[in-house]
Amino acid sequence: MAAPPRKRIAVLGSLNMDLVPYVPHHPLPGETLTSSRFGTAPGGKGANQAAAVGRLSRSPDALADGDVDVAMLGAVGSDPYADVLRSSLASCGVATDGLRVLDGQRTGIAIIIVDEPSGQNRIILSPEANHALVPADFAALPDPRPDLLIMQLEIRLDTVLQALAAAKAASVPVLLNPAPAQTLPLDAYVGLAHLILNETEAAILAGCPESDLDDEPGLQRVASLFLERGVANVVVTLGGRGVYYATKAGKSALVPAHKVDVVETTAAGDTFVGSYALAAVHASPDDFDIDGAVKAANRAAAITVSRRGSQLSIPWKDELE
Ligand code: ATP
């Protein structure tokens, strides 16, 4: 009997070249700082999450043999950064034929200022080609149809909302990571399979102070609000505190983070999303083991924060054991 076709994940989102100064502390207003080091790295939440799905589901010496097929949908400019970003995704097993190359435009840039002592980062985005994707490009989801569509908010919001509508029309489940946070129309939440957001994003989208997320009852209240808006599975990532999840089926838990020596947190959230997506794409809505998915994602993200770098700090499948 022929093996069933491999599940397919599409990631619609940003690709950025990360320009990364490492500093002794984040600069204060008016302060000029000298960095101790400077790095460049392929990034963008979309590309990082695609890379996470690719790496967490395959081994580097058998890129074609992943547990899932993963494709990146996005746009780059016609500069040398575009080639770096495309080849980095390809080296993670991600299909890049859905990438649009825009003549005369720049590829997206992210300036990521890393505070060396804490590993915390602050980020400035220049979207450039990422903002050239318009709603008309996603009147329907591109073929082949994915089994799960992952999106973030580093591309135009109207494009994300159109892709969300196209996915709903095609009954394709969506995992939305609303980062960076922007207020969404309430109908965007209706029928959303998975909402994964960090504390800051959760507070902004829920319209409450971040301190409301300090304890489990507060987390429960905020997660309930998203469930009431129509989301099936809500996951709030809490950095070093771990993760809180709640589902419309009534499951919820606060799962602590793994204790690791933190080197750099860049791409922690993206690793989490990629790992969770791999569990979600293989489950039907009725038998999804969200607890298992969150615990696996917590483990994968803990490895990422214990290493330097962004996309390339995400572990491969064999490093998870
Ligand atoms: P980023 O934008 O830095 O990629 P994020 O803000 O989207 O991350 P976080 O909530 O900071 O997301 O982290 C995502 C997950 O990564 C956490 O839920 C946890 O599993 C893991 N993680 C983050 N920080 C730590 C830490 N200090 N120790 C262990 N695990 C961590």
To test ligand 1's pocket by mutation, which of 199, 237, 299 has the most ligand atoms within 8 angstroms of CB? 237
The Å distance, Cα 136 to ligand 1 centre, comes to: 34
- Can you tell me the distance from the alpha carbon of 109 to that of 148, in angstroms, rounded to the nearest whole number? 27
Nearest atom within ligand 1 for CA of residue 258: 29
Atom of ligand 1 nearest to the CA of 177: 7
**Tokens coding 277:** 């997506």
Task: State yes or no: is 158 an active-site residue.
Answer: no
Strands (E), 211-321: 233-237, 243-247, 252-255
Alpha helix locations (H) across 195-288?
Answer: 199-206, 216-228, 268-281
pLDDT in the model for residue 62:
94
Q: According to the model, what pLDDT value does residue 295 have?
A: 97
C-beta of residue 53 within 8 angstroms of C-beta of residue 316: no
Q: How far is the CA of 186 from the centre of ligand 1 (A)?
A: 27
Query: How confident is the prediction along the chain (321 residues), in pLDDT tens digits per residue?
Result: 677 789 999 999 999 999 999 999 999 999 999 999 999 999 999 999 999 999 999 999 999 999 999 999 999 999 999 999 999 999 999 999 999 999 999 999 999 898 999 878 898 989 999 999 999 999 999 999 999 999 999 999 999 999 999 999 999 999 999 999 999 999 999 999 999 999 999 999 999 999 999 999 999 999 999 999 999 999 999 999 999 999 999 999 999 999 999 988 889 999 999 999 999 999 987 889 999 999 999 999 999 999 987 788 999 999 998
Ligand 1, CB cutoff 6 Å, lining residues:
198, 237-240, 242-243, 257-258, 260, 262, 265-270, 272, 298, 301-302, 305
| Residue written as token pair 């600069």 | 27
List b or e across 191-221, with b for residues whose CB sees 16 or more CB atoms inside 10 angstroms.
Answer: ebbbbbbbbebbbbbbeeeeebbeeeebbee
Angle between helices 216-228 and 199-206 (to 10 degrees): 60
How high is the pLDDT of residue 217? 96
- Cβ partners under 8 Å of residue 94, min gap 6: 11, 50, 51, 53, 54, 70, 71, 72
- CA 253 – ligand 1 centroid, Å: 17
How far does residue 219's CA lie from ligand 1's centre (Å)?
Answer: 16
Q: Which residues pair with 254 in a beta bridge?
A: 244
Give the N- to C-terminal CA distance of the chain in Å, as an integer.
Answer: 31
Q: Report whether the peptide linkage leading into residue 180 is cis, meaning its omega lies within 30 degrees of zero.
A: yes
Which residue from 298, 290, 294, 311 is spatially nearest to 239, judged by alpha carbons? 298
- Among 128, 149, 147, 154, smallest CA distance to 138 is for 149
| DSSP letters spanning 163-186 | HHHHHHHTT--EEE---S-----G
CA of 54 to the centre of ligand 1 (A): 19
What pLDDT shows up at residue 204?
Answer: 97
CA distance 167 to 301: 27
Side-chain half-sphere exposure of 146, counting CA atoms within 13 A: 33
Do residues 288 and 277 lie in contact, with contact meaning Cβ atoms separated by under 8 Å? Answer: no
pLDDT score of 253: 97
Is 200 marked as a binding-site residue? no
Q: Is 239 among the annotated ligand-binding positions?
A: yes
**Predicted pLDDT of residue 89:** 97
- Tell me whether 0.90 is exceeded by the ipTM: yes
CA dist list (Å): 203 to 192, 214, 231, 258, 293: 19, 11, 16, 24, 23
What pLDDT is attached to residue 264?
A: 81
Instruction: Note the pLDDT of residue 1.
Output: 67
Distance CA 30, CA 20 (A): 20
Q: Choose the catalytic residue: 212, 270, 289, 291.
A: 270
* Ligand 1 atom index nearest CA of 267: 4
DSSP string, 120-137: -EEEEEE-GGGGG--GGG
**Nearest Cα to 140, choosing from 163, 118, 157?**
163
**Predicted pLDDT of residue 137:** 94
By the 8 A CB rule, do 57 and 93 touch? Answer: yes
The vertex-112 CA angle with 108 and 114, nearest 5°, equals 165
Look up residue 121 and give its two tokens: 């980062």
* Whole-prediction pTM: 0.94
- Mutation to probe ligand 1, out of 16, 120, 198, 306 (largest number of atoms < 8 A from CB): 198
